[in-house]
Structure 1
Amino acid sequence: MWMGIFMALMLCLATAVSYAEISKLYPGTGSSYYYAEQALLSKDKAFKYARIAKFVVGWGSHLYYWVYPGVMVGVTGIFVGYVVGFLYPNFMSGSHPGPVFMALVAIVFSFAVAWIAQKGANASTAVNLAINVVQISALVLFSILALGYRVNHPSGTAALQYDSTTLATYSYEFATQPDGTILRDANNIPKPQIDAAGKPVPFHVHYPEMDPTGKLFLTHPNARSVVSVHNFNWMMIQATVAILILVGFESVTSLGSEARNAKRDIPIAVIASLLIQGLVCYLIEYFAANYFLNSGYTMQSAVGSAAPIGDMMIIVGDALLGQGRGKYFMLAEAVTVFLALIGTTLACMNTGARVTYAMGRDEEAPEHFGMLHARNLTPHRAVWTLATITAAIGVLAIVLCFGDAAAPTDATVQALPHGIFSSVGYLSHAQMAALPNSLLMATLTSNFGTFILYALSCLLCIVAFYRRPDFNVVKHLLIPLFGLVANLGCMAFYLIGPAMGYGTSKEPLGALLIAVVWGLYGAFYFWRSSKAKGKSMLVTSKMKA
């Protein structure tokens, strides 16, 4: 997973350089949508395609900007469900929160973030600044503790074993049935293995790479394993998912018209935000989390959890503060995670609303999207429309978030607390396993839109600087060309991965189908709108697209 994130970071860095360079030429509202128009209008022969280019970029970017916030509010619903289940296990399961409860959280969260967004750039900047300081500090702290846990617990030493049912750690080996099912007492607490002296067998940690069958990955035996490429195809598939945690650096370009010194500040902000977010935070944090994996909490434990990082926080907290106290550390870190979700959703919602506003202002989308709030000067109609779409996508992402490979067993479903907020929405294991994972499909749909937008942005950088006196072969050709090829390569793996039997097929092919339908509808909308308004699809003058 670490190399997948590294690959995604390199892709994003090439894209960020493209954004930074092109923003120096065309500071203004609309991000890549605006850049597409200006880049084509600057050319003597290609200017006539400026309207088509900006519509393709704008329409394609909505697959990212309209779906990504929905994914984030869906994740927020799952996260809040995990925390509530941890605090009130008799009301809800933390490992499998209730779909109805998560959906309600997603709806409320969507409109709450939209309220901040419609307040304007100053409010959004203040909120994001405070959030980023807290978030980065929390990630660094967790990384240090996770690394410390691994270093201080060599193979064969006494350690803690995590139980996903009680969301707690235990210092003894669990007693199990022949099929591996953990034996539990009346309070659902795992029973210990008993030695010849009648005492619990202490748990000793180990770092096996694979399970006894040799099919399932469990832990990394050493640090080198974490950063190694174990399989190139898996790395590419991981990159198509990992891009989700790195996007957002380009959002600042949509605020070009609201910045005091856009030509100076926007390029710096684009590069700095990605480096801080990707290099300082996620590469370090994901290395620590992967290196932490052990026989007491394996990769398979993480796969079956609604919040694996939360589980790890409980373990390291118990090791540091004493058993039973790790939950306080997890809850403190949970606050920072919630703040991070606000900041991420807010950044994308701000950008998406402004791209929609720019298209509405140019009459490439319904004209009411091109209106600004009289006092806040924000595209309030685009913001509230996006909030509604975000809430709907968030609910759809949650409905089957435990579908496909994440389907819980029938015994797990039966053990859930019964109630409309805790168990309604869960089907049988066979039914859920046969259905696609809705959260993964929404994520891959958003990511496909991201790859489209980033690939086009890299291409626009090459076009914009072509034959200009300030053209630089590294910054304006080689780096954008790498970004273009890398983005197209990740898009190709939506077909290559399933065709070669890597990972699941329902979600990437479903996401690809959604993207195709969105593109076809966009082409139809562009043709119909042009015909209704009597506008030529090709530009006849370099003055305006």
Structure 2
Amino acid sequence: MADLVKDTGTEGEQLKKTIGPVALTALGVGAIIGTGIFVVIGQGAGLAGPGVVLAFVLAGVTCAFSALSYAELAAVVPVSGSAYTFSYATLGELIAFIIGWDLILEYGVSVAAVAVGWGGNINEFLKSAFDFALPDAISKSPSDGGVFNIPAVVVVLGITALLTIGTRESARVNAVMVGVKIVILLFFIAVAFTAFNGSHFEPFAPKGFPGIAAAASTIFFAYIGFDAVTTASEEVKRPARDLPIAIIASLLISTLLYVLVSFTAVGIASTKSLSGSDAPLSTALREGAGIPWAGAVLSLGALIAITSVVLVIMYGQTRIFFAMCRDGLLPRRLATVSPRFGTPAKITVGFGILIAILAALVPLNVIVELTNIGTLFAFVLVNIGVIVLRRTRPDLERPFRVPLVPVVPIIGILLCGYLIFTLPNETKLRFVVWLVVGLIIYFTYSRRHSRLRTGEKAAVPPIEGA
């Protein structure tokens, strides 16, 4: 592996190794379990009926194919940057820039969307617990009837400050939030079993398998946070061992919780009531189990869950941008690590301000549409990277190996390609426009300033023969 990752930057451009396997797994669970189980379950129930339980299983299996490829490349290329880094090592600088540029957009938009959702959930909690709500003027965007979404700004700037202070501190806070939201979900499961009604599962699949598949394509996006684990590669104490463990463990834990929660939710409430609610789990407890106070508990759990997602996804975005700057593909002067905190403070604060503005002024339905296609595109490239690397560098030490290559990565590529095909044309068009802008930047700036072009070794040089 020494010939693959030769240099991770000069002094002042190197991140501290502070994260262990438990915190890393919590990072993955923190990114995965969030708005998905608290909101998307309702959409899935509307598409699949009680078959939404199988839709969660199908979505988890679909995601697992790409997770295996991420695990292999993360162990072989343990450098900050996730899919950007893997593409750089296996497919070359241009492809790496394209996917890095894409992920910058997707992660940033995702954080803004989740922050807006956090602002909506704070009002749900206040209504349930105190019969009080913030005025629309300070809790919604202008196009939604408000002026400035202050709650969304508060959560983004608070997470920005935490990420600036330090990775270890952020990981500890995230681990606590992950623990709390898992307890809240287990609370939901336990309470739901006390009022379980098996008749709600009839008919199980009113729209047949097409309905289950349609729900799975929606629910799939509740799982994609696991790739944020790989953005921490460079800050992991023992990456070759811990990264595959964290990727697979976080996906398994989240899938198990999703299936149990969806099963018990259907058991206490009709899929019609679930699909018609903005807070389906709270609705299930209030209308199905007849426990109104539990709605406040679930609203609090949603707030904690969404906060941890903001933390992990924003962390991932800053590390991808950091890696691209350090390689010279974006301004190198930004790739400096704070001597006091050991974090890329300039990048973190800069993105925090930009995302806070986006979250404050743009409505959720506009920014959420751009969160999907880039992640699926990244999954495709990571699967391709595994196939390429197996053929060009069969001699590399692989602490974790994807079974049945190239069959498993090809299945991952086909599944992701199918989901990309089903996305709205408007989303595809916006994606293409963003990539065109990125290509203009690459050919006018990045090629001339790249560490490879200037004769300096890149943090992750392309592998000979790849």
User: Aligned partners of 2:448, 2:93: CA distance in 1, in Å?
Assistant: 16
The alignment partner of 2:437 has SS state of helix
Rounded to whole Å, the distance in 2 between the matches of 1:102 and 1:313 is: 32
Structure 1 runs not aligned, ≥5 long? 41-49, 156-206, 208-219, 320-325, 402-437, 495-507
Does residue 140 of the first structure (1) align with residue 197 of the second (2)?
A: no
Instruction: Please point out which of 513, 521, 529 is paired with 2:437.
Output: 521
Q: Deviations over 1:19-77 (max 9, x none)?
A: 1111221111111211222224xxxxxxxxx1112112211222321111112101101
1:143-173: per-residue Cα shift (whole Å, max 9, x none)?
Answer: 232243233xx76xxxxxxxxxxxxxxxxxx
Q: Which residue of 1 aligns with 2:13?
A: none
- Residues of 1 paired with 2:306 and 2:341: CA distance? 24
Q: Could you state the TM-score of these two structures normalised by the residue count of structure 1?
A: 0.67
| 1:337 equivalent in structure 2 | 302
Equivalences for residues 342-491 of structure 1 within 5 A: 342-395=307-360, 399=363, 401=364, 438=365, 441-467=366-392, 468-469=394-395, 474-491=403-420
Deviation per residue, 1:242-280 (Å, 9 max, x gap): 233212212122222211111111111111111111x22
SS at match of 1:66: helix
2:216 equivalent in structure 1: 239
Q: Are 1:271 and 2:242 matched, yes or no? A: no
Structure 2 gaps of 5+ residues are: 1-43, 45-51
Distance between the aligned counterparts of 1:365 and 1:238, measured in 2?
39
- Match for 2:80 among 14, 26, 29? 29
Counterpart of 1:503 in structure 2 is none
2:196 alignment partner, SS class = helix
Which residues in structure 2 correspond to 1:250-269 (within 5 Å)? 250-269=227-246
What is the CA–CA distance in structure 1 between the aligned matches of 2:311 and 2:166, rounded to whole Å? 11
- Of 253, 277, 280, the residue aligned with 2:256 is 280
Distance (Å, rounded) in 1 between the aligned partners of 2:410 and 2:129: 50
> Alpha carbons of 1:230 and 1:368: their partners in 2 closer, same or farther (altered >3 Å)?
farther
Does residue 117 (structure 1) correspond to residue 42 (structure 2)? The answer is no
After superposition, the C-alpha distances for 1:459-512 in whole angstroms (9 at most, x for unaligned) are 112112225047867354222211111111100001xxxxxxxxxxxxx33322
Q: What is the SS of the residue equivalent to 2:115?
A: helix
Q: Secondary structure at the match of 1:64?
A: helix
Aligned to 2:176: 130
Change (3 A) 1:56 1:273: same
Q: Quote the Cα distance in structure 1 between the aligned partners of 2:451 and 2:237.
A: 35
Deviation at 1:91, TM superposition (A): 5.1
What is the root-mean-square deviation in Å for CA atoms of aligned residues?
A: 3.1
Amino acid corresponding to residue 307 of structure 1 in structure 2: A
1:332 & 1:473 partners in 2: Cα distance? 41
Deviates more, 1:125-134 or 1:263-272: 125-134
One-letter amino acid of the structure 2 residue matched with residue 128 of structure 1: N
**In the aligned structure 2, how far is the partner of 1:80 from the partner of 1:314?**
18
Q: Give me the whole-angstrom Cα distance separating, in 2, the residues matched to 1:91 and 1:272.
A: 38
For 1:56-205, what aligned pairs fall within 5 Å after superposition?
Answer: 56-87=98-129, 89=131, 99=144, 100=146, 103-151=149-197
Higher mean alpha-carbon deviation, 117-126 vs 362-371, is at: 362-371
Contact 2:128–2:295 at 8 Å: present in 1 too? no
Is this contact kept in 2: 1:251–1:351, CA < 8 A?
yes
Shift of 1:523: 1.1
Output the CA distance in 2 between the equivalents of 1:251 and 1:481. 22
Residue 312 of structure 1 deviates from its aligned partner by 2.2
Tell me, in whole angstroms, the C-alpha distance in 2 between the residues paired with 1:535 and 1:344.
33
User: CA distance change for structure 1 residues 132 and 101 in 2, over 3 Å: closer, same or farther?
Assistant: farther
1:5 paired residue number: 56
Report the secondary structure of 1:375's partner residue: coil
Instruction: Provide Cα deviations, 1:160-187, integer angstroms capped at 9, x if missing partner.
Output: xxxxxxxxxxxxxxxxxxxxxxxxxxxx
Partners of 2:62 and 2:227 lie apart in 1 by: 13
For normalisation by structure 2, the TM-score amounts to: 0.77
CA distance in 2, matches of 1:105, 1:75: 10
Taking CA–CA contacts closer than 8 Å with sequence separation of 6 or more, which of the two structures ends up with the larger relative contact order? 2
State the distance in 2 between where 1:92 and 1:149 align.
33
CA contact (8 A) 1:20 1:266 kept: yes
1:526 maps to amino acid: Y
For residues 341 and 391 of structure 1, do their structure 2 counterparts lie closer, same or farther at Cα, with a shift above 3 Å needed? same
Q: 1:336-379 CA distances to partner (integer Å, 9 max, x unpaired)?
A: 22221121111111111000001111121233431211211111
d(CA) in 1 for partners of 2:343 and 2:453?
A: 29
Residue pair 2:334, 2:346 contacting (<8 A) in 1 also: yes
Alignment of 1:314 with 2:286, yes or no, is yes
